[in-house]
Structure 1
Amino acid sequence: MSLRFSDEEFQAAWKELDEPQLQGGWELFTGTMGVNIYRLLDQETGLYEYKVFGSLSSCAPELCADVYMDLAYRKHWDGYVKELFEEQFDGQTAIYWEVKYPFPLSNRDYVYVRERRVLEVGGRKIWVILARSSPETPCPEKNGVLRVKDYKQTVAMETDGAGGTKVFMNYFDNPGGMIPTWLVNWAAKSGVPGFLTDMQKACSDYHSYRCKK
């Protein structure tokens, strides 16, 4: 199977840790809990793409990357996950993810591919994870669940030099349907910092979770 992600995409991801690329219409959306979130309007959809810069003060980047990649564990600590698993679909490996939405909105699901690399850059070690929707993967849609067909996420992590992790995240998805603006804004303003807080706790609990398996 051909490579899903290019070397250039991985290089572009880690460089944001050193020099955020915010020219061309990016605006500061919110800054809270040590996290700055920028957004860029996608003219075609009217939706926003986001870039997140922050830190996880109490866990190392390798641990963060392991927790982020562990799908089974995420079902334990992320309350928005209804289903999440990796599977072969007609010989193609992809991830299926169903996300809980508040009533009366329909849940959304994603079929996506991802790749993790550990980059050595001038003596630095940087973990980069890329993901994007895979509409060509033959995974049937469910009744009552809307399939998100335009999704991408980039995560780059390295040590902050003090036992924690410096994080860059870039993401966009088009959830489809009619979603109230307040919910979109809440997800970006509160959901992302909340996710990072939950992930930090998940990192601290990961060793005990692994021991119980």
Structure 2
Amino acid sequence: MEQLNLSFPEQLFQEAWGELEEPALDGGWELFTECMGFTIYRLYDQQSGLYAYKVFGGFSDCSPQLCVDVYMDLEYRKQWDQYVKELYEKEYEKGKVIYWEVKYPFPLSNRDYVCVRECRDLDVAGQKVWVILAKSFAIPQCPEKPGIIRVGSYKQSVAIKSDGKNGSKVFMYYFDNPGGMIPSWLINWAAKSGVPSFLQDMQKACKKYPQ
């Protein structure tokens, strides 16, 4: 069993903010879709038959600090994300983990995640950049529940900085293998609307965030 280690390698933070300056799209990344001022690329993962995604764009009317506050606020997420069934952070001996159960449409089983995440605000050449990293994590204190499929392969990184006006410039990397018997074509098809609709919900959530 992997030891609970909350620190992500320094290099991952650098890679995330580096994508804001210069998107790294070599090695098979292809244009997937464009919406709401965001451009979404995807990369095929041979092993799972699924895609990883990179999202580039921004929210012209949400400041970086606001985006970060909304993204990190688990209690608020329960209000604006219709797919959340259960979501909380729990402190263990070696650090905090997040438990998250996601509603899936009938007849599919719900999925749940146990993950760790870390948020840092960095000074990059005199400019403030926020980077949030998250990944799935197995610990014995969070065993699998009957009837719910545990997602064992989930990774996300987000980098946010000011767009120089009143908004934010955003980069997001995302990979998620929901497991179970869902055919990969169906998961890939669902992502076409799923990724853009998350961005839309997030933008609305920023505008309504209680100060």
Once the two structures are superposed, the pairs formed by residues 29-108 of structure 1 within 5 Å of their partners are: 29-89=32-92, 92-108=95-111
Match among 6, 24, 27 for residue 21 of structure 1: 24
Match of residue 197 from structure 2: 194
Moved more, 3-12 or 164-173: 3-12
- The correspondence of residues 159-174 of structure 1 with structure 2, limited to 5 A, is 159-174=162-177
Equivalent residue letter for 1:190: S
Q: What is aligned with 1:141?
A: 144
Deviation at 1:181, TM superposition (A): 4.8
Where does the alignment leave 5 or more consecutive residues of structure 2 unmatched? Answer: none
Superposed CA RMSD:
1.6
Q: Is the 8 A contact 2:129 2:161 kept in 1?
A: yes
Q: SS where residue 45 of structure 1 aligns?
A: coil
Mapped contact 2:51–2:188 kept (Cα < 8 A): no
Residue 185 of structure 1 aligns to a residue in which SS? helix
Query: Residue type of the partner of 2:154?
Result: Y
Q: Secondary structure at the match of 2:159?
A: strand
CA shift, 1:136, in A, is 3.3
Q: In the alignment, which residue of structure 1 is the partner of 2:128?
A: 125
Structure 1 residue 206 displacement after superposition: 1.1
- Does residue 165 of structure 2 align to residue 185 of structure 1? no
Deviation at 1:190, TM superposition (A): 1.5
- 8 Å CA contact 1:109, 1:146 repeated in 2: yes
**2:209 is paired with a residue of what secondary structure?**
helix
Q: Does 1:157 align with 2:160?
A: yes
- Structure 1 unaligned blocks of 5 or more: none
Cα offset, 1:93, TM superposition: 1.7
How many residue pairs get aligned? The number is 208
Amino acid of the residue matched to residue 45 of structure 1?
A: S
Write the deviation string for residues 102-136 of structure 1: whole angstroms up to 9, x where unpaired. Answer: 11111100000000000111111111000001123
1:61-102 per-residue CA deviation (whole Å, 9 max, x = no partner) reads 011001100000000000010111001346542000001111
Equivalent residue for 1:7? 10
- TM-score normalised over the length of structure 2: 0.92
- Opposite residue 151 of structure 2, the aligned amino acid is V
Q: Distance in 2 between matches of 1:97 and 1:119?
A: 27
1:146-189 Cα offsets, whole Å, 9 max, x none, are: 00011100000011122111110001111101224564234322
Residue type of the alignment partner of 1:95: I
User: What one-letter code is carried by the residue in structure 2 that aligns with 1:82?
Assistant: K
Q: Percent identity?
A: 65
Q: Cα distance 1:181–1:6, how it changes in 2: closer, same or farther (>3 A)?
A: closer
Contact 1:111 1:137 in 2 (8 A): no
